[in-house]
Structure 1
Amino acid sequence: MKRLLVVFFLLSSAAVFAQQLGPLTVDKIMRDPKWMGVAPTNIQWDENSKTIYFNWNPQKMENDGLFQISTLKKNPEKVGDDIRRNLERGTLTYSRDRSKILFERNGDIVVKNILNGLETALVTTVEREANAAFSKDESKVIFQRGDNLYSVGIDKGNFIQLSNFTRTRSRPAAPVTKQDEWLRKDQLNEFDIIKKKDADRNNAEKKSKEDAVKRPKEFYLDERSTVNSIRISPDERYIVFRVSKNPEGNKNIIVPNYVTASGYTEDINGRTKVGNTLPTFESYVYDITRDSIYLISTKEIPGIKDLPDYVKDYPEQLAERTKKNEDRKVSISGPFWNSDGSNAVVTVTSLDNKDRWIMKLDPGSGRLSLLDRQRDEAWIGGPGINSFNGGSLGWIDNNTFYFQSEASGYSHLYTVNVNTNLKKQLTAGKFEVQTLRLSNDKKSFYFTGNIEHPGITHLYRIPVAGGEPVKITSMRGGNEVSISPDEKWLAIRYSYANKPWELFLQENKPGAKAEQITNSLSEEFKSYPWKDPELVSFKNRFGSDVYARIYKPQKADPSKPAVLFVHGAGYLQNVHYWWSQYFREYMFNNLLSDMGYTVIDVDYTGSSGYGRDHRTGIYRHMGGKDLSDHVDAVKLLVEKYGVNPANVGLYGGSYGGFITLMGLFTEPEVFKSGAGLRSVTDWAHYNHGYTSNILNEPYTDEKSYKKSSPIYFAEGLKGNLLMAHGMVDVNVNFQDIVRLSQRLIELKKDNWELAVYPVEDHAFTEPSSWTDEYKRILKLFETTLKTK
């Protein structure tokens, strides 16, 4: 018995020891992330406001499972595939009394009675139906199939086609010559039988027209045109739609894929490059009563001919564009109809993204009148503002429209009376309204914002007339809130800087306690004391506040080295009190700190969460203020944290890789070593939507591209450079790093290396690739920064 107890003790000790992470290594932290535990995702309320569904994987299975809890029974239970299939229904639309929901499942339109749970499939076809909505009196459902709009009765009767977008033109009749017309008249005069047949045919055609079902007016779409944003007015008189026409002659990038099942190199069709010709957009109104289609006029939009300020740097271009005096190209989103259809609002965005207009639409004439204009000489953006579908906006009542704007320097909530044009700002301060929702009774707004600190988000409520926001959540960190349909409960995905996301449940009341539902973390992950980085702010050389988080080593290496991690995307926030999406880099920064490095992570100029000026501070010069913020951060490390300025490195991916290259090429006395991962090396080779906002276009603003692209500064490399890139990267193409490599070869630089990853796209997926990449980064820093 004693021997059995000893054996049991040894086995138990081994099991406990196996759960201990121990000293961090690259191999450990770059494993399949399931080793950490799998956080809950895809939070979804059932329409009864009693059940929450979410994806989760506590057993670390190959795929996440679907789990449920209720507001009464809070222990997660795994549910079967039948429930999963029933939940696959896209966006829910509620009836006014919230007794029914409308949704799309597997391409079919379904209405469900919430009280008895009965579902009725209104349309069941092999084609896909989408964008379903109740009609004004809720006796019908209006939906889109293919290019066209249809309606069907709730009782599945009275199926009607409302629009007639077609790609087949009716063939015109052959022209009739004067000779043919003379012969026809002569035949009618000579033969009674022909007169009789002609009269019978005319009578039959007349009766056929009288008996025929009236069809919607035809609108022809050619092979380069697509129709979208098809919206019908509540009274079903007007259909407003947008037609986009793709340009001819644009070239797409080809990405070769070398490791394939066929054994042959296969081509992946990619995107275009910045500056390629854009699609053009026109919006129309179809007046069903008048059976007439007409264009929405944009010529009278205030400032439609305004040129951006940057063209003043190009006198010839300015003279030419001034002489042409052309209207700028725009895209119209909407309309957004009020409940009774008496008012319609659209948003108009200039394709150069310098202007966003909110305008009232007169559907009877197609004319627009101004409600609000936001002009930005950099580019329009910010939370809830810039969206192909308009952003966060809608109606409070039949006369009051709400929207978000950066007019104050931060994205805030505004209302406008569409009859008097009276505007009102509802929120104000040095914070951003990041998500927005109007309450069911339309008396309050719910919004998430970073009022307390740029790196803390909470849910707030504010009356639609304005007032002091009331904070509802209380946990310090990141709160991703899903409000129940009846607005009585909050499902909160919460995390802290060193604690990944978990699901919490809370009553929708200020001060109510949030109850933790899931416990996702593995014992192995919990066994390590993950650092809670110190969040600091400092003034950059321009006097602006820059936020950073610092990992201080318990025992600094004698060489006092430091590493800067540079987050990607540019417009992204990584200095905050919630769990970082860069969780691998977070763990790697812990490893570096354990090894004696001081690590800093900066929300440099261009990052999100800090308002308009910070967002657009990189306009026309990427590698300007965003890079100098990192140089200023090094100064902070030296002066306050005792870092040796001779032993500073940096690393990052995508935009972070770009900054790494610019740092080594243009600030070689500051940065001794760097690892640039999936880096942009020449902005003229990146995509249009992102790059043109910041640098305009290469052929219109060449100066911006020349001073923003690392390839033009490669001769400045003095330190130690590691570059890593996936060969099937369809975002920042492998061609980028190949071109820079050739440039370095021609410059006869020998202090760089390139690591390639044949099966990886922009975001690596294979643990072996992550491990190889970060072992190389660690080796770079260990061999070059730990010198006295």
Structure 2
Amino acid sequence: MIKHLAVSALSLALLSACSTTQAPADSRPAATAAANVQLLAPPQADQPLTLQQIMADPDWMGIRAQGAYFADDGQSVYYSRQPSASVLKDYYQLDLDNGSKTKLELAQLHSADQRVGVLNNKGTEKAYLYQGNLFVKDLASGKVRQLTRSNNAIKDLRYLNDGSIAYWQGGKVSVIDTESGLTHQLAQIETQNAPKGVQEPDSYLAKQQHRLIKYVALQHDNAKDKEQRKQALLAVDPTMAAEPFYVGKGKRIAELSVSPDGRYILLALSEKSDKWRSDHDIMPDYLGKDGYVDAVPARARVAEAKSSGHSFLLLDTQEGTQKPITIEGLTGYDEDVLAKVKSENAAAQGEEYDSEKSPRTIALMLDWGWSQSPVQWHSSDNKLALMVEALDNKDRWIATVDLDKGKFSTQHRLHDDAWVNYTHNQYGWLPDTDTLYYLSEESGYSHLYLKPLGGKAKALTQGPYVVSDITLSPDAKYIYYRANKQHPGIYNVYRVELASGKDEQLTQWDGNLEYELSPQGDALLLNASRRTEPAELYLQPIGGEMKKLTDYTSNEFKSYPWQAPEVVAVPSSHGAEDIYARVYLPAGFNPDSADKYPAVIFNHGAGYLQNADYGFSGYFREFMFHNLLAQQGYVVMDMDYRGSKGYGRDWRTAVYRNMGKPEVEDLSDGVKWMAKHANVDAQRAGTYGGSYGGFLTFMALFTQPELFQSGAALRPVTDWAHYNAPYTSNILNTPDVDPIAYERSSPIEHAEGLQKPLLIMSGVLDDNVFFQDSVRLVQRLIELEKPMFETAIYPVEPHGFKQPSSWLDEYRRIHKLFEETLKE
């Protein structure tokens, strides 16, 4: 998915050492206001940057700490480090008392405190999975016991109320007594139709055979006796495993969850016929290891993907029964939410659309930003809540389940005429209450709410900022969260007291950060960065001072005088809010110089991503490249155009059914701002970007050909009908329902507008945005007789390039394009 461009870049981003642990309250930066712009010249570098250095193996910057988390006792921190060219990670334990770091041996990893695990009701034991096997740790003594040893990996587990552990492998759910080690089967789930058992003869020939042939009749009677004996034993013999549950042929278990007492099992089932792989295409690897072209399977396109959603089934292991959970309890489950869109498309074909109510396709809501299950059992009662969504992307529900009747009851419905955000969907139960907590964008921004069953929801946070990453404290008195209250690009950690509603800020950081709460609830582990200082790990006791834990950035990187980009608010001329952007200024910048500067606008990937913040950019190569361009006399802007993350619902959904138009309007305002405030020659501006940024480069050059003098599109989307379903159907619906949106938003439909030099660069092994995207556009441009484009292919590269030589070649070409088209 396009959003994964940012994820892959972040996975390579290196961390810096900043000696200042926190900024005074009066020194936190704010966006440069358009009405009061005072841009200062950047520091001068002793040695100019080179593309060879910028695009080299990033290990020269330092090898960062990844995936950091607290030990179970809160006295140390675990994390990993991985050189960029290695597939293997090294694991470390950092002692918080003395700061010592110990590299863990492979033989220690199974007994190291694991990040993911579950606690028993008393909080005295932790169960976790390592290499697919089950381990239990006594938290007081630290003793670890291995309870299973198998090559058949366990998928998930939970403690039951009696202290035993339920775990499941495929369709088999087992329970193990942690003291005796006895394991028994709770349920066997078969994705088959139930066997018919011993059938009585029903045809003439069968009845005749049983009547005339005694042997046949005897075999039939014996089979009935065996079946009756088996059922009698199951009723009275506790040593026998229960009969399997047969849930239907052609089904696949998408989610399985066991109730705290072990009585109920919730199943979400999908159809095996759902299509997520293409029936028609492969991705050819022209450099296969055997010298031939390898045919790599390809994902399905949104135009061909098929999903029937999920059906929900409740198994009762005590009664041996199963019942479907019906969706009628979901408010609006049968609304024709796409009626207006369908009517518009029908009218374009000279037809009329008659709206009718019909059950919508429903599935579990799988949030792209968190790992919590959408199935939540109450910790002490048999109360079950699910977060589900309509696959038309217009509704998300939090619903409880009547376990006796098998019916949903809506507790919260979040509807959006555009699409419901696929992040900011965390929720759960408050222990020992009938109250749910959850995030919702219903106010226009993601905020935190409480709702008792049968009662009204109450907002715990409110305002023009985004709340995310919520954590319930161990004592359930507070909910911790991350938010950008001070400025859209500055993030800190807060907590709200549930009893009083008191909200307090816990960190005073002037950049971007992520956090984890300690198991004891008394400290925060922070992964924090600033604009020129990549992220490092910090510890902050609740109410205490921030302490730096790691310093992995190389001295070579730290010693260079990197330019910290100004974060400015660009006024919109199109009725939108201000557009936040980073601006890099030329060496020796003079706002009054008679010689105006050339400019470049970088378009970030993912569409829904924030890059114009006060943290270190996940696009670390681009950050250095922009420093290089500034040294060479360019003004560079990096803009969070409409659709970007961090600015609320309206900003996010501004691109609904019209991708590429609002964003290009914002780019146009960016060029105007630079001409007015940064002494830029608006007739010497270029643009570039990768993935969604490549798509946006196309749309700018094709639909506003006078805006930029040149553009470079990296791994770009050219036709949204060829992209994946989960991402694209949110924004453009599906091609069969809304062809207008696809034709309006796909660059290949506007290619005739190209008038300026264009560079197209794609990886042949890109399984995200297929190489075919570029091939199709190139043929379209050839047929349009457009002479002003060039292409470059990278035979071994996936969506996120891996080889330094590929990065270097790519950016040499981009640099050359700008030098030839933007410099006088």
Answer whether TM exceeds 0.5 for this pair.
yes
1:187, distance to aligned residue in structure 2 (A): 8.6
Moved more, 228-237 or 200-209: 200-209
1:524 corresponds in structure 2 to 556
Partner of 2:35: none
- Find the residue that maps to 1:644 and give its secondary structure: strand
Inter-partner Cα distance in structure 2 for 1:56 and 1:286: 43
**Which residue does the alignment assign to 1:13?**
none
Shift of 1:725: 0.6
Tell me the equivalent position of 1:101. Answer: 126
Matched, 1:464 2:510: no
User: Is this contact kept in 1: 2:794–2:806, CA < 8 A?
Assistant: yes
Matched-pair contact (CA < 8 Å) for 1:502–1:518? yes
Kept after mapping to 2: 8 A contact 1:383/1:435: no
Pick the aligned partner of 1:272 from 288, 300, 304: 300
SS at structure 1 position matched to 2:778: helix
8 Å contact kept, 2:191–2:250: no
583, 587, 608: which one aligns with 1:550: 583
Query: Any idea what SS the aligned residue of 2:479 has?
Result: strand
Does the aligned pair in 2 maintain the 1:726–1:760 contact within 8 Å? yes
Could you say what secondary structure the match of 1:608 adopts? coil
Preserved contact between residue 227 and residue 244 of structure 1 (Cα < 8 Å)? yes
Go from structure 1 to structure 2 and tell me whether the alpha carbon gap of 1:71 and 1:313 turns closer, same or farther (over 3 Å shift).
Answer: same
The alignment's TM-score, normalised by the length of structure 2, stands at 0.87
Letter in 2 for 1:601: D
Residue of structure 1 aligned with 2:523, choices 470, 479, 489: 489
Q: Is the 8 A contact 1:592 1:599 kept in 2?
A: yes
Q: Aligned partners of 1:757 and 1:58: how far apart in 2? A: 23
Deviations 1:385-437 (A, max 9, x none): 2xxxxx3433343311111100100011111111x232111110111112000
Q: Which moved more, 1:69-78 or 1:402-411?
A: 69-78
**DSSP 3-state at the match of 1:753:** strand
**How many Å separate the matches in 2 of 1:563 and 1:526?**
26
Letter in 2 for 1:341: D
1:237-636 alignment runs, 5 A limit: 237-247=263-273, 251=279, 253-276=281-304, 277-307=306-336, 308=338, 309-315=340-346, 322=354, 325-332=357-364, 334-381=374-421, 383-385=423-425, 391-418=426-453, 420-465=454-499, 467-509=501-543, 512-540=544-572, 541-555=574-588, 558-636=595-673
For 1:124-164, what per-residue CA distance to the aligned partner results, in whole angstroms no more than 9, with x for missing partners? Answer: 233111311110122x1001111221111112444222222
* Residues 274 and 307, structure 2, Cα contact 8 Å, conserved in 1: no
Query: Greater relative contact order (Cα 8 A, min sep 6): structure 1 or 2?
Result: 2
Distance 1:88 1:226, change over 3 A: farther
Is 2:181 aligned against 1:147?
Answer: no
What CA distance in whole angstroms lies between the structure 1 residues aligned with 2:285 and 2:690? 21
CA distance in 2, matches of 1:207, 1:95: 39
Q: 1:533 to 1:184 in 2, by over 3 A?
A: closer
Looking at structure 2, the residues matched to 109 and 707 of structure 1 have their Cα atoms a distance apart, in angstroms, of: 52
Relative to structure 1, the CA distance from residue 110 to residue 695 in structure 2 (aligned partners, 3 Å threshold; closer, same or farther) is same
Contact 2:343–2:353, Cα closer than 8 Å, also in 1: no
Q: Cα gap change, 1:218/1:32 in structure 2, threshold over 3 Å: closer, same or farther? A: same
Report if aligned partners of 1:252, 1:271 keep a CA contact under 8 Å in 2. no
Question: In the alignment, which residue of structure 1 is the partner of 2:370?
Answer: none
Cα separation, partners in 2 of 1:80 and 1:218, compared to 1, 3 Å: closer
> Partners of 1:146 and 1:239 in 2: how far apart?
14
SS at match of 2:597: coil
1:104 is paired with a residue whose SS is strand
Report the AA paired with residue 318 of structure 2.
T
Work out whether residues 198 and 224 of structure 2, in 8 Å CA contact, stay in contact via their aligned partners in 1.
no
TM-superposed CA distance for 1:82, in Å, is 2.8
Q: Is the 8 A contact 2:603 2:696 kept in 1?
A: yes
Question: Which ranges of structure 1 fall in alignment gaps of 5 or more residues?
Answer: 1-19, 386-390
**Structure 1 residues 324 and 474: CA distance shift in structure 2, 3 A:** closer
- Distance verdict in 2 for CA 1:422–1:182, change over 3 Å: same
Query: 2: distance between equivalents of 1:728 and 1:142?
Result: 41
Aligned residue among 16, 22, 47 for 1:22: 47
AA at the equivalent of 1:728: L
Structure 2 distance, partners of 1:57, 1:330, is 40
Q: Which residue number in structure 1 is paired with residue 261 of structure 2? A: 235
Q: What SS does the aligned partner of 2:279 have?
A: coil
Cα distance in 1, alignment partners of residues 585 and 448 from structure 2:
39
Root-mean-square deviation over aligned CA pairs = 2.7
Q: Measure, in 2, the Cα distance between the counterparts of 1:343 and 1:611.
A: 33
* CA deviation vs aligned residue, 1:587-609 (integer Å, no higher than 9, x gap): 00000001110011110100001
Distance 1:222 1:154 in 2: 33
Cα shift at 1:70: 1.5
Distance, in Å, in 1 between the alignment partners of 2:673 and 2:223 is: 92
Contact map agreement 1:384 1:392 (CA 8 A) in 2: no
Amino acid at match of 2:332: G
* Residue in structure 2 matched with residue 210 of structure 1 by the alignment: 232
Distance between the aligned counterparts of 2:356 and 2:350, measured in 1?
A: 10
CA 576–335 in structure 1, closer or farther in 2 if over 3 Å, else same: closer
* C-alpha separation in 2, matches of 1:273 and 1:61: 32
CA shift for structure 1 position 274: 0.6
For these two proteins, the number of residue pairs brought into alignment is: 754
3-state SS of the aligned residue for 2:563?
Answer: coil
646-655 or 357-366, larger mean C-alpha shift: 357-366
Shifted more, 568-577 versus 107-116: the winner is: 107-116
Q: Cα distance, 1:35 vs. partner?
A: 1.0
- Answer whether contact 1:311 1:318 (CA < 8 A) is retained: no
Read off the aligned partner of 1:606 and give its amino acid letter.
Answer: G
- Which stretch has the larger CA shift, 656-665 or 277-286? 277-286
Please give the per-residue CA displacement for 1:91-140, whole angstroms capped at 9, x wherever unaligned.
111223322110011211111112122222223233111311110122x1
For the Cα contact (< 8 Å) 1:348–1:358, is it kept in 2? yes
Aligned-pair distance for 1:198? 9.9
Measured at CA, do residues 352 and 246 of structure 1 come closer, stay the same or move farther in structure 2, by a change above 3 Å? farther
Secondary structure of the structure 1 residue equivalent to 2:730? helix
Amino acid at match of 1:312: S
- Secondary structure at the counterpart of residue 620 of structure 1: coil
Name the counterpart of 2:745: 708
The answer as to 2:66 corresponding to 1:41 is: yes
TM-score (norm 1): 0.90
Picking from 697, 702, 705, the partner of 1:665 is: 702
Indicate conservation of the 8 Å contact 2:477/2:497, yes or no: yes
Within the candidate set 761, 770, 773, 2:807 is matched to 770
Which deviates more from structure 2 when the two are superposed, residues 712-721 or residues 535-544?
535-544
Q: What letter matches 2:575 in structure 1? A: F
Verify the 8 A CA contact 2:285 2:294 in the aligned structure 1.
yes
C-alpha separation between the residues in 2 aligned to 1:60 and 1:348? Answer: 40
CA contact (8 A) 1:382 1:611 kept: no
Q: CA deviation at 1:356?
A: 0.8
> Which segment is superposed worse, 271-280 or 27-36?
271-280
Q: Structure 1 746/460 Cα, relative in aligned 2: closer, same or farther at 3 Å?
A: same
Structure 2 SS opposite 1:129: coil
